[in-house]
Amino acid sequence: MLGERIRSRRTKLCLSQEALAEKAGISANTVSRIEGGQMSMSIVTFIKLVQAMDADANDLLGIAPGLEKKQYQDILHRIIHLRAEEQEIVLRTVETLAESLRQGR
């Protein structure tokens, strides 16, 4: 689950939820709810977390290597230009798909 991977990365960096929230410019409550799987997030929030943790977005999403970096960048570019509501739909879809694939192994 995405929230679990975010929590794992945060703890590896020895950051509290509050410290990560401050670095990302979001609330600590938002970090807590994302990590606990209680809320989905917009692409903008996801990007803020990736940048704040200097993380690989693919790792956080649970996407295994395979596509060329340019392909990921092209996909992300398209997603960034969607409306916020559409971005949330894409993120929830990717989370669900990644979780289903992982469970099917």
| Buried-state track 74-87, b at ≥16 Cβ within 10 A, e below 16 | eeeeebeeeeeeeb
Considering the chain, what percentage of its residues have pLDDT values greater than 70? 94
Quick one: pLDDT band at residue 73, thresholds 50, 70, 90? confident
Rounded CA-CA distance 73/99 in Å is 22
This prediction has a pTM of: 0.65
Which domains, ranges and CATH numbers included, belong to the chain? 2-103 (1.10.260.40)
pLDDT tens, position by position, 17-42: 999 999 999 999 999 999 999 988 99
Q: Is 54 left (phi over 0), alpha (psi -120 to 50) or beta?
A: left
